[in-house]
Chain A
Amino acid sequence: MQRYHGISLSLLAFVCILFMLVLPIGIILLWSVSNGWFPPNLLPGDYTTRHWQMFLTDPTLTPAIINSLVITVIVTASSMVIAMPTAWALARFEFRLKKLIEIFILAPLIVPGMVVAVGLGRVFLKLDLAYSMEGVILVQIAGVLPLTIRILSGGFESIPGDIISAARTLGAHRFAIIRHILLPLSVPAMLAAGLLSFVGSFEEFERTLIIGAPIVHTLTTRLFVNLSGQGLVIPVAAVVSLILLIPVLVVFLLTSRIMRDDVMAAGMGKL
């Protein structure tokens, strides 16, 4: 009885996965290799790798991929560097107004990205940062920074104070403690924060659209233009979507292995 119950649960769960995940992604996959797929056919009439090949030569898509990768890497690295000292201060210091600063740091998660982006857009126009890579990078860092600080400071907080004290009584100076104790023990938190900001930056759309488009395009803004424009070519959109999925999925599968659910839930959920 118990066993039967378990199997029916499992069946239910995986039917959901099939319809919610496998089917939509499968259809996109088919579109990306279809050579003519007209209603009412449930499968494409003919297959081709044309759309994928075109992708490598398309003058609008290749720069978008490069931009996406460059921006994501720079955003992830810079937000880590910027977040580290602040996260340390929040984890290890007690001070007045600490609660207020914590709320301020998490507030960007609450305020719609569009509002922040248009507000910044005006200044960036004046500073000549609008429509530039630098501008997009800055606005994206602002987007991923709250979570990065949050996760890092959670990681730092979990290092017991006794361990640092022990290292000190064993003769370790400030630098030695950072190098031998704090950095190695923060690796899980840093990985978690890094992976989340990688995903966050790679799939960022609204801020990039406002600050970067139409000069600086990433894959997401390019896909948006493609989907919202007049001449919607579904196979091309399918190829772009799949490319957007690849690194995000790889990173995400990695993440769930490295990152415990509760860390992720805490990072994203609890304010």
Chain B
Amino acid sequence: MPALKNELDVLGISKHYSGVEALSPTSLSVTNGEFVTILGPSGCGKSTLLRMITGITLPSGGQVLLQGRDITRLPPEKRDIAIVFQSYALFPHMSVRNNILFGLKMKKLGKQEQLRRFEHVVAICGLGDLTGRYPKQLSGGQQQRVALARALVMQPALLLLDEPLSNLDAKLRESLRDDLLALHRSTGSSTLYVTHDQSEAMSMSDRIIVMDKGRVVESGRPRDLYLKPQKRFTALFFGHTNLVPVEAEGTRATLPWGGFLPLDQAARGKGEISLRPECLSVFADASGEAEVRQVTFMGPDIFYDLQIGDHSLKSRQGSNGAPLEIGSRVSVRIEGTATLLEQTDVETASTGPSPDSPSLEGDR
């Protein structure tokens, strides 16, 4: 297998339906064995993108390359790409066994090989005693595993997962997330994962591509996107954050309530930075600059809403130790460096706060 070549290259692919643009020209790639996630709110074009990669939808422009081969116009049945749908799309009239064998039969694989692959995939997906059942006799989590097995058994060059966990309850979602990741590590399949859940994306991906309104906002490693987002949209989409206006001068940013913060890149003029609540440490200090306005106990964490000058800030602390009282004075310490958010996209990316992000529900 050519180690250096990308498994998937999407080059300037776009889609418009009767004049309305659903996806602006978008490029992305997945290298061999990589787990890449497309993250975005519903309606951001991520599913359209996925459908064009499978060939179910034809792109209006651009190219799709699989292992360097142009497959843009190839029908889905001729592509070496398997997909797990959000709805699982199991064939209701076939047993689990026949669901999994379907693709192999279509490929006209030898009986021996069919059986070998089938048994392997049944073992790694933990479907041992379910193979005789029908989809409607399975729980949601079991259906999800069957859908995954049906895709994996094809040993595809690329595995696509379209929000495969979104129809499951929270607990199950977490355990299946771990299973999925373990499976990815053991099979080493190149995977493109689509979700609207930032915690899912961060915990699983090698790389995340953030999308909004039919275009890519930003992409990078989970940690970078979370801690040092370039775009306001990204900062807001990845959970709670404090957007703070600053005055930049070289690699130093002046905070509005006084005090400085080092910038990781030199800049000049007014700007905005994203400070994650956990980067703000607070200490009880009778002469501190901030006042505690609200305390929200979340189990592992405590959120403090602080008032500092004209600004409200949110801070997140571990819940061990004595909590601070509402109304008490505190001093705030900010760790690390900050990145100025790109101003160009402030207007276009998102005018209001994203519906998912700034709520106080904790991680979903």
Seen from chain A, the residues whose Cβ lies within 8 Å of a Cβ on chain B are 160, 162-163, 165-173, 176, 180-181, 184-185
| Chain B residues closer than 8 Å to A166, beta-carbon distance | 83, 85, 89-91, 150
| Chain A residues closer than 8 Å to B87, beta-carbon distance | 160, 162
Question: A260 to chain B: closest CB distance in Å?
Answer: 16
| Chain A residues closer than 8 Å to B54, beta-carbon distance | 165, 169
- B77 & A173 in contact (Cβ 8 Å cutoff): yes
- A163 & B91 in contact (Cβ 8 Å cutoff): yes
Question: A191 to chain B: closest CB distance in Å?
Answer: 14
| Chain B residues closer than 8 Å to A160, beta-carbon distance | 87, 89
- B77 & A171 in contact (Cβ 8 Å cutoff): yes
Question: A254 to chain B: closest CB distance in Å?
Answer: 21
What are 22 A-B interface contacts by the 8 Å CB criterion?
A162-B85, A162-B89, A163-B91, A165-B51, A165-B54, A166-B83, A166-B85, A167-B91, A168-B77, A169-B55, A169-B83, A170-B82, A170-B106, A170-B150, A171-B77, A171-B78, A172-B102, A172-B106, A173-B106, A176-B106, A180-B102, A185-B92
**Once bound together, how far apart are the Cα atoms of A165 and B51, in whole Å?**
9
Question: B82 to chain A: closest CB distance in Å?
Answer: 6
User: B97 an interface residue at 8 Å Cβ cutoff?
Assistant: no
List the B residue with the shortest CB-CB distance to A170: B103
User: B154 an interface residue at 8 Å Cβ cutoff?
Assistant: yes
Query: What size tier do the contact residues of chain B reach?
Result: 20 to 34
Secondary structure call for the A interface: helix
**Once bound together, how far apart are the Cα atoms of A18 and B87, in whole Å?**
49
| Chain A residues closer than 8 Å to B90, beta-carbon distance | 163, 166
- Which B residues, 67 to 123, have Cβ-Cβ distances below 8 Å to chain A? 75-79, 81-83, 85-87, 89-93, 102-103, 106-107
| Chain B residues closer than 8 Å to A181, beta-carbon distance | 91
| Chain B residues closer than 8 Å to A162, beta-carbon distance | 85-87, 89
| Chain A residues closer than 8 Å to B77, beta-carbon distance | 168-173
| Chain B residues closer than 8 Å to A176, beta-carbon distance | 106
| Chain A residues closer than 8 Å to B106, beta-carbon distance | 170-173, 176
| Chain B residues closer than 8 Å to A172, beta-carbon distance | 77, 102, 106
Beyond A176-B106, A180-B102, whether A169 also contacts B56 by CB under 8 A is: yes
Mark interface residues in B137-177 (1 if CB within 8 Å of A CB, else 0): 00000000000001000100000000000000000000000
Question: B217 to chain A: closest CB distance in Å?
Answer: 27
Question: A95 to chain B: closest CB distance in Å?
Answer: 13
List the A residue with the shortest CB-CB distance to B107: A171
**Once bound together, how far apart are the Cα atoms of A103 and B55, in whole Å?**
34
**Once bound together, how far apart are the Cα atoms of A161 and B106, in whole Å?**
19
Which of A168, A180, A184, A185 is in CB contact (< 8 Å) with B76?
A168
- B154 & A170 in contact (Cβ 8 Å cutoff): yes
| Chain A residues closer than 8 Å to B107, beta-carbon distance | 171
Which of B51, B86, B102 is in CB contact (< 8 Å) with A170?
B102
| Chain A residues closer than 8 Å to B79, beta-carbon distance | 169
List the B residue with the shortest CB-CB distance to A185: B93
**Once bound together, how far apart are the Cα atoms of A6 and B91, in whole Å?**
42
Mark interface residues in B41-76 (1 if CB within 8 Å of A CB, else 0): 000000000010011100000000000000000011
Q: What 9 A-B pairs have minimum CB-CB distances, sorted nearest first?
A: A170-B103, A171-B106, A162-B89, A166-B89, A168-B76, A165-B56, A162-B85, A184-B93, A163-B89
**Once bound together, how far apart are the Cα atoms of A163 and B82, in whole Å?**
13
Candidate in B55, B81, B103 with the most chain A CB atoms within 10 angstroms: B103
| Chain A residues closer than 8 Å to B89, beta-carbon distance | 160, 162-163, 165-166
Candidate in B51, B82, B91, B150 with the most chain A CB atoms within 10 angstroms: B91
**Once bound together, how far apart are the Cα atoms of A170 and B55, in whole Å?**
12
| Chain B residues closer than 8 Å to A180, beta-carbon distance | 91, 102
| Chain A residues closer than 8 Å to B76, beta-carbon distance | 165, 168-169
| Chain B residues closer than 8 Å to A165, beta-carbon distance | 51, 54, 56, 76, 83, 85, 89
| Chain A residues closer than 8 Å to B150, beta-carbon distance | 166, 170
**Once bound together, how far apart are the Cα atoms of A167 and B77, in whole Å?**
8
| Chain B residues closer than 8 Å to A171, beta-carbon distance | 77-78, 103, 106-107, 154
List the B residue with the shortest CB-CB distance to A166: B89
- B102 & A167 in contact (Cβ 8 Å cutoff): yes
Mark interface residues in B250-285 (1 if CB within 8 Å of A CB, else 0): 000000000000000000000000000000000000
- A169 & B81 in contact (Cβ 8 Å cutoff): yes
Question: A156 to chain B: closest CB distance in Å?
Answer: 15
Question: A174 to chain B: closest CB distance in Å?
Answer: 9
| Chain A residues closer than 8 Å to B85, beta-carbon distance | 162, 165-166
Beyond A163-B91, A184-B93, whether A168 also contacts B103 by CB under 8 A is: no
| Chain A residues closer than 8 Å to B55, beta-carbon distance | 168-169
Can you add 8 more A-B contacts, CB < 8 Å, to A160-B87, A163-B89, A166-B91? A165-B54, A169-B55, A169-B79, A169-B82, A170-B102, A171-B103, A171-B154, A185-B92
| Chain A residues closer than 8 Å to B78, beta-carbon distance | 171
List the A residue with the shortest CB-CB distance to B56: A165
Candidate in B54, B103, B106 with the most chain A CB atoms within 10 angstroms: B106
Question: A106 to chain B: closest CB distance in Å?
Answer: 28
| Chain A residues closer than 8 Å to B51, beta-carbon distance | 165
- Which B residues, 187 to 227, have Cβ-Cβ distances below 8 Å to chain A? none
Question: B160 to chain A: closest CB distance in Å?
Answer: 8
Question: A229 to chain B: closest CB distance in Å?
Answer: 52
Question: B59 to chain A: closest CB distance in Å?
Answer: 16
| Chain A residues closer than 8 Å to B91, beta-carbon distance | 163, 166-167, 180-181
